[in-house]
Amino acid sequence: MVNKQAIDVVVPSFRLNEALLLNIIQLNKPAAFEVNTYIVADNPAAVIPEKLKALHREGRIHLLINEVNLGFSGTRNKGIRAGHGKWILLLDDDIVPQPDLLEAYAAAISGDENALGYAGVTFFPEPVNAATRALELNGSVGHFKMALHKPEIIWAPTTNMMINREKLLDGLFDTNLKAGGEDVDFFVRHWLHFRETYKSVPDARVTHPWHDNGAMQTNRMFRYGIAASQLSHKEPEKNYTYRDFTNTLETLLLLLIAAPLAWFTGHMALWLCLLVIVPLAEFLTNWFRAVSTGRTYSPAVAFHLMWVKNCWEAGYLYDVLFAGRLNGFAKRIDMGFVKQHPSPFRTNRWKIVKLIILLVLVVIAVCAVGNSSL
């Protein structure tokens, strides 16, 4: 039976960092609510800190240990099903919450007890290097802070989100989405089913550290690209996909396929020029972006902007090719989910800048190849 005056705090954890988890366990408790904390250890081989064991024995937390690794989706599902509170607060295990986090959510609930859910704000520290500056500039951390700028949202990462148990769909988080994107899928499905958005709670704040102490996020962005490709073929997200111009990696793949034709027609010199021009135009576009939006002339930031973008696109292309989703080539998903069946071949200022740079470089290359053949 659902306890309407209870909040279940669900924290999946692989690391079981005692200090970080205690920050969550010791949050101020709102007077009108019963609070139950579920720590779900997704690491069967983990050494459980003695303090957590003691808190579990005392009944102050519920410590659940997976017998096998279930991943983010399965672990969150286990924590959700273990509780009975009407409100479920999903937190990551490496965030540092403001002490009044639960009180901020409780105040929001008092204003609307039938909401689909509530979105908190997740801050990241100031950038510490070129890699983190690039993540900030390209919008990778933008959705974490969306609740700070919009009164209602349709999805956000699960670092700091509250959901209504009375409005949960069967299946919860999709355990088939192992590369990521399970949070997008979960919140979007519920938004579309109930035709309700998640209400923002700007005062419900946590801070998330830079992943791997600010290191380059090659694997993470590659996985996110795979996840986006998987979402683009899944209901209901596939209704928000469209055809687009080929990106840098897709264009390079087409050039490689066209290599024999270039050889037989005697255009290998131009082909080699194009092989250099395409990634060069990508880098110059990102450098222009770093200068115009980031107010930095750093080539390192431009490189990291290009790297993050192309790692994501590499993951997307990898899934298209190796998962047999060939109809996903040059297919995009609108992660803003603005409208179903968006128009194809959409442009933005960065695509226009890149096209101009490409045209200029191609003209130069054609002239250079032509002069060399004289």
Domains by residue range for the chain, with CATH? 3-206 (3.90.550.10), 237-372 (no CATH)
Give 34's strand partners.
6
Residues 84, 90, 95: CA angle, nearest 5 degrees: 140
Find, among 170, 210, 176, the residue nearest to 193 by Cα: 170
Q: How far is 344 from 365, CA to CA, in rounded Å?
A: 30
Q: Is 45 exposed, middle or buried (0-12, 13-18, 19+ CB in 10 A)?
A: exposed
At residue 17, what are phi and psi to the nearest 5 degrees? Answer: -75, 115
Q: How far is 127 from 135, CA to CA, in rounded Å?
A: 9
Say whether the peptide bond before residue 236 is cis (omega within 30 degrees of 0).
yes
Instruction: Please list the pLDDT of the chain residue by residue as tens digits (374 residues).
Output: 899 999 999 999 999 999 999 999 999 999 999 999 999 999 998 889 999 999 999 999 999 999 999 999 999 999 999 999 999 999 999 999 999 999 999 999 999 999 999 999 999 999 999 999 999 999 899 999 999 999 999 999 999 999 999 999 998 999 999 999 999 999 999 999 999 999 999 999 999 999 999 999 999 999 999 999 999 999 999 999 999 999 999 999 999 999 999 999 999 999 999 999 999 999 999 999 999 999 999 999 999 999 999 999 999 999 999 999 999 999 999 999 999 999 999 999 999 999 999 999 999 998 888 766 54
At residue 200, what are phi and psi to the nearest 5 degrees? Answer: -80, 140
pTM of this prediction? Answer: 0.94
Q: Is 373 helix (H, G, I), strand (E, B) or coil?
A: coil
Give every CB contact of residue 126 below 8 A, 6+ residues apart in sequence.
Answer: none
